[in-house]
Structure 1
Amino acid sequence: MSNLDWGSSGAPSFTKIIFSDVYPAIDPSNTTLPTGFSVCIIGASRGIGAGIATSYAKAGASLIILAGRRTSGLEDVAQQCKQTGKAKDIQVLVIRCDLTIPSDVEFLAAQTRESYPSGLDVLALNSGVTEFVAKIVDTPTDQIINTTAVNYVGTFLVAKNFVPLLLAKDKGAKMFAVVGSMASLLVRGPIANAQYCVSKTAQLRLAELLHEEFHVAHGLRVFCAHPGAVASEQSNAKSPDEFKSYLTDSAELCGAFFVWLSTRGEEVAWLSGRLLSAKWDVVELERRRDEIVANDLLKLKLVL
């Protein structure tokens, strides 16, 4: 990661130009997804997850499944999707799912298969229990267990149950998208910690493994993207005071970035298996393709 500019906020940037809100190159309103485009968003009841849902609606997704633990929030997002959706007769389903319960994830996958027998285009996973107790010796054990269960084990359960649905759709987008975090790289500073940062590192590594197992042989594209520093119910309540001034990024930015990745197909397949940021300028990112591929950048590595 030596090529990254970490900047004053501690958030690394690979591109010289960065954004805090949706910009023309990735604006989902400028996109029209294919008829019958299907997406399942887990963790969609608020914030970044809700932004992902409305972004796909604005881009013309025909079939949207919203999943999460809070069905009341999901119902509100469903109404937003229907109001802003570009596709005629847009279908939005709401299903309760707790990522830490295997049977819940299995049920969600079964309902998705029943609703979309031809397969799924995109699975977007927005899982993130945010805990910022800085010192290991002060960290409650149940926080470690719960955060790991959501951020890592939950990602595993989703991959296990949803990859077959993504691969089943003929000429589908075959996209497994994870809301990751640049905090997965942190070992010092006010938000470096043993629960959130380390579990997000494990999530990133799992995404890399998923790419290696299914990209070349089956065409699965796996993207792990930092959404920016977004003010939310969780981040406002749990972030250290010295970090809160950096919570200035739009909750819709990550969704717009995911839509952009969905529409580019094989043109951005080379980004699969890498840690990305929704804040990075996609024009500059594409310009640096040869450098990224040749040096296998934006991956976890041991330098000897």
Structure 2
Amino acid sequence: MAEPPSDMFVKQAQFTKTVYRDVYPTIDPTNPANSMAGKIIVITGPSKGLGRIAFVKAFAKAGPKAIVLVSRNETGLGEVRHEIHAINKDVQVEIIPTDIKNAESVTSFWEKVKEKFGHADVLINNAASVGGGTVSEQPIDSWWNDFSGTNILKETNVRGTFIVTQGFLKLLGKERKGAIINLTTFAAHMPFPGLSSYSISKLALTQLQAFVAVECPNVTAVAVHPGLILTDATLDYFKPFAKDSPELLGGLGVWLATEKAAFLSGKYVEVNWSVDELMERKEEIVKEGKLSIGIKGEFGSEQFK
């Protein structure tokens, strides 16, 4: 039996005619149209994985005023600081150890950001935990951990992302423009056996963005499927398909933080989709409620008259 093609998942979820697996001009962080000049960028989970190889490097290239690195401990973050300065020596880098599952720790974090910068402009909720097991067999505590984060090794989950997001919104206020990018997964709406806890927790995060969008119109809040990028966390099954570049995800993150992406607030976006074509389909996406979580069906009493 032939092996499935490496772009199988890209094609299954294709929403735009053109798809990408590497960065392209429109989302290139060095494109002046995507400049983050003067902005304060907060990135959770920046010490390894996608946070480090995608978001940190891309935002450094976009020339912000500062990048704030948020992690439970400082291990490895000194190296990340050096990597940022190797790209752009003018970016101010702040390292603030924070347990994002702990409300008091997060409150202290945002107080430090306020004291240093007054506010933050962009929040990247990047870190993730992956639980595994079938509904009938996975231990209850293991399943629930993707939501509440009872295991100290699990740095991000629904609770942690909510706490950090709430602090960002309170500091931002209702007048200043801001952006939140949450990492989600196509598995949030395409069930894969053995990934129920992870998938449902990511579904919750996707819908959290929808609530931010309706409650805070000054904020662009987007849930992003990062594609399949080969990292230490990539599950064995997905490794043959992991052909997306970190630069693709990082570039998309930067582009989504610009005002051009405001029409996607509350929506779900996949990294492989062409943002040029998304912009061309802006009216369709907004008016027809596309790229949003919902239930398929025909609803309303009028259809029965």
Give the TM-score, by structure 1 length.
0.86
Equivalent residue pairs, number? 281
Q: Distance in 2 between matches of 1:176 and 1:41?
A: 10
Cα 1:101–1:181, aligned 2, differ >3 Å: closer, same or farther? same
Deviation (angstroms), 1:89: 3.1
Counterpart of 2:207 (choices 205, 208, 213) is 205
- Tell me which moved more, 29-38 or 267-276: 29-38
Q: 1:57 aligns with which of 56, 60, 65?
A: 60
Alpha-carbon distance, 1:92 to partner? 0.1
The structure with more radius of gyration: 2
Residues 1:253 and 1:98: Cα distance change in structure 2 (over 3 Å): farther
**Partner Cα separation in structure 1 for residue 45 and residue 83 of structure 2:** 16
Pick closer, same or farther for the CA change 1:142–1:75 going to 2, 3 Å. Answer: farther
CA, structure 1 residues 35+249, in 2 after alignment: closer, same or farther (shift >3 Å)?
Answer: closer
Question: SS state of the match for residue 276, structure 1?
Answer: strand
Range moving further from structure 2, 57-66 or 100-109: 100-109
Aligned to 1:4: none
Matches within 5 A, 1:1-304: 8-9=8-9, 12-31=13-32, 33=35, 35-50=37-52, 51-85=54-88, 89-117=90-118, 119-133=119-133, 135-149=134-148, 150-167=156-173, 173-187=177-191, 189-190=192-193, 193-215=195-217, 219-235=218-234, 239=235, 241-263=236-258, 265=259, 267-304=260-297
Name the SS for the 1:233 alignment partner.
coil
Which ranges in structure 2 are unaligned for 5 or more consecutive residues?
1-6, 149-155, 298-305
Give 2:100's aligned amino acid: L
Q: Deviations over 1:67-115 (max 9, x none)?
A: 1234222222111111102xx6321011122222222222221111111
The aligned residue for residue 301 of structure 2 is none
| Runs of 4 or more above 4 Å deviation | none
Q: Distance in 1 between matches of 2:68 and 2:204?
A: 26
Kept in 1, the 8 Å contact 2:21–2:272? The answer is yes
Separation in 2, partners of 1:143, 1:73: 27
Structure 1 range deviating more: 56-65 or 43-52: 43-52
Q: Which amino acid aligns with 1:234?
A: A
Residues 52-76 of structure 1: CA deviation (Å, up to 9, x unaligned): 1111110101111011234222222
Q: Quote the Cα distance in structure 2 between the aligned partners of 1:106 and 1:287.
A: 40
Deviations 1:107-147 (CA, angstroms, capped at 9, x unpaired): 22111111112x211111103101232x1122122222221
| Ranges in structure 1 where 5+ consecutive residues have no aligned partner | 1-6
